[in-house]
Amino acid sequence: MATIASDNRGLRLAVRYAVLILIAVIFIFPLIFMVMSSFKPDQQLLNDTGSFAAFLPVGDISLDNYADAFKRAPVGLFIFNSVLVTGVTVILSLLICSAAAFAFVFVDWRGRELVLTAILATLIVPFETIAIPLLLIASKLPWLGFDGLTFGWLNSYQVQIVPFIADGLTIFLFVQYFKDLPGELIEAARVEGASWGQVYRKVVMPLAGPVLATAAILKFLVMYNQYLWPLMVVQQEGYRPVMVGLQYFFQLNRAWGEIMAYLSLITVPVLAFYLFLQRAFIASIASTGVKG
Protein backbone atom coordinates (compact mmCIF):
# COMPACT_ATOMS: atom_id res chain seq x y z
CA MET A 1 0.00 0.00 0.00
CA ALA A 2 2.82 2.31 0.95
CA THR A 3 4.50 1.66 -2.40
CA ILE A 4 1.30 2.45 -4.34
CA ALA A 5 0.80 5.67 -2.36
CA SER A 6 4.42 6.60 -2.96
CA ASP A 7 4.11 5.87 -6.70
CA ASN A 8 0.96 7.98 -6.92
CA ARG A 9 2.68 10.83 -5.16
CA GLY A 10 5.61 10.54 -7.53
CA LEU A 11 3.32 10.55 -10.56
CA ARG A 12 1.41 13.56 -9.27
CA LEU A 13 4.70 15.35 -8.69
CA ALA A 14 5.90 14.49 -12.18
CA VAL A 15 2.65 15.75 -13.74
CA ARG A 16 2.78 18.89 -11.65
CA TYR A 17 6.37 19.61 -12.70
CA ALA A 18 5.55 18.86 -16.34
CA VAL A 19 2.70 21.40 -16.26
CA LEU A 20 4.85 23.97 -14.47
CA ILE A 21 7.71 23.50 -16.95
CA LEU A 22 5.26 23.85 -19.85
CA ILE A 23 3.89 27.11 -18.41
CA ALA A 24 7.43 28.37 -17.77
CA VAL A 25 8.42 27.56 -21.35
CA ILE A 26 5.37 29.37 -22.73
CA PHE A 27 6.27 32.45 -20.72
CA ILE A 28 9.98 32.40 -21.47
CA PHE A 29 9.71 31.68 -25.23
CA PRO A 30 8.92 35.28 -26.24
CA LEU A 31 12.03 36.40 -24.35
CA ILE A 32 14.16 33.75 -26.03
CA PHE A 33 12.72 34.72 -29.42
CA MET A 34 13.52 38.37 -28.75
CA VAL A 35 17.11 37.73 -27.71
CA MET A 36 17.85 35.21 -30.47
CA SER A 37 16.30 37.47 -33.13
CA SER A 38 18.45 40.36 -31.96
CA PHE A 39 21.52 38.52 -33.30
CA LYS A 40 20.09 37.78 -36.76
CA PRO A 41 19.91 39.85 -39.96
CA ASP A 42 16.37 40.95 -40.92
CA GLN A 43 15.83 38.52 -43.78
CA GLN A 44 16.91 35.52 -41.72
CA LEU A 45 14.87 36.73 -38.74
CA LEU A 46 11.71 36.90 -40.88
CA ASN A 47 12.39 33.55 -42.52
CA ASP A 48 12.98 31.88 -39.14
CA THR A 49 9.66 33.03 -37.66
CA GLY A 50 7.86 30.07 -39.23
CA SER A 51 10.09 27.45 -37.61
CA PHE A 52 11.75 26.44 -34.35
CA ALA A 53 14.93 28.12 -35.63
CA ALA A 54 13.40 31.37 -34.36
CA PHE A 55 14.35 30.27 -30.83
CA LEU A 56 17.87 29.11 -31.65
CA PRO A 57 21.14 30.98 -32.24
CA VAL A 58 21.58 29.58 -35.73
CA GLY A 59 22.53 31.08 -39.09
CA ASP A 60 24.30 34.37 -39.57
CA ILE A 61 24.76 35.44 -35.94
CA SER A 62 26.36 38.79 -35.04
CA LEU A 63 26.12 41.87 -32.84
CA ASP A 64 25.46 44.11 -35.86
CA ASN A 65 21.89 44.86 -34.78
CA TYR A 66 23.13 46.18 -31.44
CA ALA A 67 25.71 48.39 -33.13
CA ASP A 68 23.06 49.68 -35.57
CA ALA A 69 20.58 50.30 -32.74
CA PHE A 70 23.11 52.51 -30.97
CA LYS A 71 23.70 54.37 -34.23
CA ARG A 72 19.98 54.94 -34.83
CA ALA A 73 19.11 56.21 -31.35
CA PRO A 74 20.83 57.30 -28.14
CA VAL A 75 19.91 54.02 -26.44
CA GLY A 76 22.09 54.56 -23.38
CA LEU A 77 20.54 57.97 -22.77
CA PHE A 78 17.00 56.59 -23.02
CA ILE A 79 17.78 53.76 -20.59
CA PHE A 80 19.46 56.21 -18.20
CA ASN A 81 16.43 58.53 -18.34
CA SER A 82 13.97 55.71 -17.70
CA VAL A 83 16.00 54.20 -14.88
CA LEU A 84 16.43 57.62 -13.25
CA VAL A 85 12.76 58.61 -13.55
CA THR A 86 11.56 55.15 -12.50
CA GLY A 87 14.02 54.80 -9.63
CA VAL A 88 13.30 58.20 -8.10
CA THR A 89 9.54 57.75 -8.51
CA VAL A 90 9.56 54.30 -6.92
CA ILE A 91 11.59 55.46 -3.90
CA LEU A 92 9.48 58.59 -3.35
CA SER A 93 6.29 56.66 -3.93
CA LEU A 94 7.16 54.03 -1.33
CA LEU A 95 7.93 56.77 1.20
CA ILE A 96 4.90 58.96 0.56
CA CYS A 97 2.33 56.23 0.03
CA SER A 98 3.43 54.18 3.03
CA ALA A 99 3.34 57.31 5.22
CA ALA A 100 -0.14 58.11 3.93
CA ALA A 101 -1.32 54.56 4.57
CA PHE A 102 0.20 54.67 8.06
CA ALA A 103 -1.82 57.80 8.79
CA PHE A 104 -5.00 56.17 7.49
CA VAL A 105 -4.59 52.95 9.47
CA PHE A 106 -2.95 53.89 12.76
CA VAL A 107 -3.57 57.58 13.40
CA ASP A 108 -7.04 58.61 14.49
CA TRP A 109 -8.17 61.81 12.75
CA ARG A 110 -11.50 63.21 11.61
CA GLY A 111 -12.53 62.46 8.03
CA ARG A 112 -9.88 59.82 7.35
CA GLU A 113 -12.45 57.31 6.05
CA LEU A 114 -13.85 59.91 3.68
CA VAL A 115 -10.40 60.90 2.40
CA LEU A 116 -9.36 57.27 1.98
CA THR A 117 -12.56 56.55 0.06
CA ALA A 118 -11.87 59.51 -2.21
CA ILE A 119 -8.32 58.31 -2.85
CA LEU A 120 -9.48 54.77 -3.59
CA ALA A 121 -12.11 56.15 -5.95
CA THR A 122 -9.28 57.46 -8.15
CA LEU A 123 -8.48 53.83 -8.96
CA ILE A 124 -11.33 53.78 -11.45
CA VAL A 125 -10.23 56.97 -13.23
CA PRO A 126 -8.10 56.13 -16.28
CA PHE A 127 -5.00 58.28 -16.69
CA GLU A 128 -6.05 59.26 -20.22
CA THR A 129 -9.02 61.20 -18.85
CA ILE A 130 -6.83 63.48 -16.73
CA ALA A 131 -3.85 63.66 -19.07
CA ILE A 132 -4.84 66.91 -20.78
CA PRO A 133 -5.75 68.87 -17.62
CA LEU A 134 -2.54 67.58 -16.07
CA LEU A 135 -0.59 68.76 -19.12
CA LEU A 136 -2.10 72.23 -18.85
CA ILE A 137 -1.21 72.41 -15.16
CA ALA A 138 2.32 71.05 -15.67
CA SER A 139 3.00 73.54 -18.45
CA LYS A 140 2.47 76.44 -16.03
CA LEU A 141 3.85 75.22 -12.71
CA PRO A 142 6.77 77.09 -11.12
CA TRP A 143 10.08 75.36 -10.42
CA LEU A 144 13.05 76.55 -8.42
CA GLY A 145 16.20 75.06 -9.92
CA PHE A 146 19.73 75.93 -10.96
CA ASP A 147 18.31 78.54 -13.36
CA GLY A 148 16.37 80.23 -10.57
CA LEU A 149 12.59 80.42 -10.61
CA THR A 150 11.13 79.22 -13.90
CA PHE A 151 7.59 78.47 -15.04
CA GLY A 152 6.50 75.38 -16.90
CA TRP A 153 7.72 71.87 -16.21
CA LEU A 154 7.76 70.61 -19.79
CA ASN A 155 11.01 68.97 -20.93
CA SER A 156 12.26 67.99 -17.49
CA TYR A 157 12.65 64.99 -15.22
CA GLN A 158 10.35 66.36 -12.54
CA VAL A 159 7.38 66.45 -14.91
CA GLN A 160 7.80 62.70 -15.42
CA ILE A 161 8.24 61.98 -11.70
CA VAL A 162 6.08 64.20 -9.50
CA PRO A 163 2.61 63.38 -10.90
CA PHE A 164 3.19 59.67 -10.26
CA ILE A 165 4.64 59.69 -6.76
CA ALA A 166 1.32 59.20 -4.96
CA ASP A 167 -1.38 56.97 -6.37
CA GLY A 168 -4.45 55.18 -5.10
CA LEU A 169 -3.26 51.65 -5.81
CA THR A 170 0.01 51.92 -3.88
CA ILE A 171 -1.72 53.56 -0.91
CA PHE A 172 -4.37 50.83 -1.02
CA LEU A 173 -1.68 48.10 -0.96
CA PHE A 174 -0.03 49.64 2.08
CA VAL A 175 -3.36 50.20 3.86
CA GLN A 176 -4.38 46.57 3.39
CA TYR A 177 -1.02 45.32 4.61
CA PHE A 178 -0.85 47.62 7.63
CA LYS A 179 -4.35 46.57 8.69
CA ASP A 180 -3.04 42.99 9.09
CA LEU A 181 -0.13 43.98 11.32
CA PRO A 182 -0.61 43.09 15.02
CA GLY A 183 -2.10 46.14 16.77
CA GLU A 184 -0.30 45.16 19.99
CA LEU A 185 3.04 46.10 18.44
CA ILE A 186 1.89 49.65 17.78
CA GLU A 187 0.23 49.99 21.18
CA ALA A 188 3.35 48.69 22.94
CA ALA A 189 5.54 51.16 21.11
CA ARG A 190 3.20 54.05 21.93
CA VAL A 191 3.04 52.99 25.61
CA GLU A 192 6.85 52.99 25.63
CA GLY A 193 6.69 56.63 24.52
CA ALA A 194 7.48 56.31 20.83
CA SER A 195 6.24 59.15 18.64
CA TRP A 196 4.15 58.41 15.50
CA GLY A 197 7.23 59.07 13.41
CA GLN A 198 9.23 56.56 15.43
CA VAL A 199 6.46 53.98 15.22
CA TYR A 200 6.40 54.44 11.44
CA ARG A 201 10.19 54.23 11.03
CA LYS A 202 11.15 51.70 13.70
CA VAL A 203 8.13 49.43 14.05
CA VAL A 204 5.94 49.44 10.96
CA MET A 205 8.38 49.88 8.07
CA PRO A 206 10.78 47.11 9.17
CA LEU A 207 7.80 44.76 9.00
CA ALA A 208 6.66 46.02 5.61
CA GLY A 209 9.17 44.16 3.42
CA PRO A 210 6.67 42.12 1.38
CA VAL A 211 4.37 45.05 0.59
CA LEU A 212 7.35 47.28 -0.19
CA ALA A 213 8.60 44.71 -2.70
CA THR A 214 5.15 44.27 -4.24
CA ALA A 215 4.46 47.99 -4.48
CA ALA A 216 7.95 48.64 -5.87
CA ILE A 217 7.58 46.03 -8.61
CA LEU A 218 4.14 47.33 -9.64
CA LYS A 219 5.30 50.94 -9.63
CA PHE A 220 8.48 50.09 -11.47
CA LEU A 221 6.57 48.42 -14.29
CA VAL A 222 4.10 51.28 -14.61
CA MET A 223 6.86 53.90 -14.67
CA TYR A 224 9.27 52.02 -16.91
CA ASN A 225 6.51 51.46 -19.45
CA GLN A 226 5.38 55.11 -19.50
CA TYR A 227 4.59 56.25 -23.04
CA LEU A 228 1.65 58.66 -23.32
CA TRP A 229 2.71 61.12 -20.61
CA PRO A 230 6.36 61.56 -21.65
CA LEU A 231 5.20 61.80 -25.25
CA MET A 232 3.03 64.75 -24.24
CA VAL A 233 5.42 66.59 -21.95
CA VAL A 234 8.87 65.86 -23.35
CA GLN A 235 9.86 67.42 -26.63
CA GLN A 236 13.62 67.26 -26.15
CA GLU A 237 15.54 64.11 -26.87
CA GLY A 238 17.63 64.56 -23.74
CA TYR A 239 14.69 63.66 -21.48
CA ARG A 240 13.03 60.90 -23.52
CA PRO A 241 12.44 57.52 -21.87
CA VAL A 242 12.81 54.06 -23.43
CA MET A 243 9.24 53.53 -24.61
CA VAL A 244 9.12 56.74 -26.63
CA GLY A 245 12.61 55.84 -27.84
CA LEU A 246 11.26 52.55 -29.17
CA GLN A 247 9.38 54.53 -31.82
CA TYR A 248 12.73 55.54 -33.35
CA PHE A 249 12.89 52.04 -34.79
CA PHE A 250 9.47 52.02 -36.45
CA GLN A 251 10.35 53.59 -39.77
CA LEU A 252 8.64 52.82 -43.07
CA ASN A 253 11.01 49.93 -43.64
CA ARG A 254 11.21 48.36 -40.22
CA ALA A 255 14.53 47.01 -39.04
CA TRP A 256 13.23 44.09 -36.98
CA GLY A 257 16.69 42.99 -35.87
CA GLU A 258 17.42 46.42 -34.42
CA ILE A 259 14.01 46.48 -32.74
CA MET A 260 14.78 43.13 -31.08
CA ALA A 261 18.23 44.37 -30.03
CA TYR A 262 16.73 47.53 -28.52
CA LEU A 263 14.02 45.53 -26.73
CA SER A 264 16.63 43.13 -25.35
CA LEU A 265 18.65 46.04 -24.03
CA ILE A 266 15.75 47.82 -22.38
CA THR A 267 14.54 44.59 -20.80
CA VAL A 268 17.77 44.21 -18.82
CA PRO A 269 16.91 46.80 -16.12
CA VAL A 270 13.44 45.26 -15.67
CA LEU A 271 14.83 41.75 -15.20
CA ALA A 272 17.59 43.00 -12.90
CA PHE A 273 15.09 44.89 -10.74
CA TYR A 274 12.76 41.92 -10.57
CA LEU A 275 15.55 39.51 -9.60
CA PHE A 276 16.81 41.96 -6.98
CA LEU A 277 13.38 42.37 -5.40
CA GLN A 278 12.56 38.68 -5.64
CA ARG A 279 15.40 38.01 -3.20
CA ALA A 280 14.39 40.96 -1.02
CA PHE A 281 10.85 39.65 -0.96
CA ILE A 282 11.89 36.19 0.27
CA ALA A 283 14.44 37.59 2.72
CA SER A 284 11.83 39.94 4.10
CA ILE A 285 9.40 37.13 4.90
CA ALA A 286 12.14 34.96 6.40
CA SER A 287 13.54 37.70 8.65
CA THR A 288 10.33 39.29 9.89
CA GLY A 289 8.31 36.14 10.40
CA VAL A 290 5.22 38.04 9.31
CA LYS A 291 2.84 36.29 6.98
CA GLY A 292 2.96 37.66 3.47
Partner 1 sequence: MSKFGTFAGILLATTLSSGAAFAQTTLSMWYHGAGSEQEVSILNQITADFNASQSDWKVELQAFPQAAYNDSIVAGALAGNLPDIVDVDGPVMPNWAWAGYLQPLQIDETKIASFLPGTKGMWDGKLYSIGLWDAAISLVTRQSILDELGLRTPTLEQPWTKDEFMDALSKAKASGKFEYALDLGTAWTGEWYPYAFSPFLQSFGGDIIDRSTYKTAEGVLNGDKAVEFGTWWQSLFTDGYAEATQDPAARDAGFNSGKYAFSWNGNWAALGTLAAFDDVLFLPAPDFGNGPKIGAASWQFGVSAKSAHPDGASKFIEFALQDKYLAAYSNGIGLIPATASAAAMTENYKEGGKLAVFYGLSEKQALVRPVTPSYVVAAKVFEKALADIAKGAPVADTLDAAVDEIDADIEKNGDYGF
Cα 210 to Cα 98: distance, rounded to the nearest angstrom: 13
Angle of CA points 162, 136, 90, to nearest 5°: 15
Compute the least distance from the CB of residue 43 to partner 1, in Å: 7
Which of residues 250, 286, 289, 291 is near partner 1 by CB under 8 A?
Answer: 250
**Considering beta carbons, is residue 154 or 280 the nearer one to partner 1?**
154
Which of residues 132, 185, 268, 272 is near partner 1 by CB under 8 A?
Answer: 132
Compute the least distance from the CB of residue 284 to partner 1, in Å: 39
Q: Does 252 bind partner 1 (CB under 8 A)?
A: yes
* DSSP one-letter string for 219-284: HHHHHHT--HHHHHH--SGGG--HHHHHGGG--SS--HHHHHHHHHHHHHHHHHHHHHHHHHHHHH
Cα 288 to Cα 292: distance, rounded to the nearest angstrom: 10
Q: Does 77 bind partner 1 (CB under 8 A)?
A: no
Q: Does 159 bind partner 1 (CB under 8 A)?
A: no
Compute the least distance from the CB of residue 245 to partner 1, in Å: 8
Q: Does 64 bind partner 1 (CB under 8 A)?
A: no
**Cβ neighbours, 10 Å, residue 71:** 10
Which of residues 236, 286, 289, 291 is near partner 1 by CB under 8 A?
Answer: 236
Q: Give, in order, the Cα–Cα distances in Å from 185 to each of 82, 173, 188, 189, 192.
A: 39, 20, 5, 6, 11
Residue type, 191: V
Which stretch, 22-30, 113-121, 178-186, 225-233, contacts partner 1 (CB under 8 A)?
225-233
Binding site for partner 1 (CB under 8 A): 42-43, 46-47, 49, 71-73, 132, 135-136, 138-139, 152, 154, 231-233, 235-237, 244-245, 247-254, 256
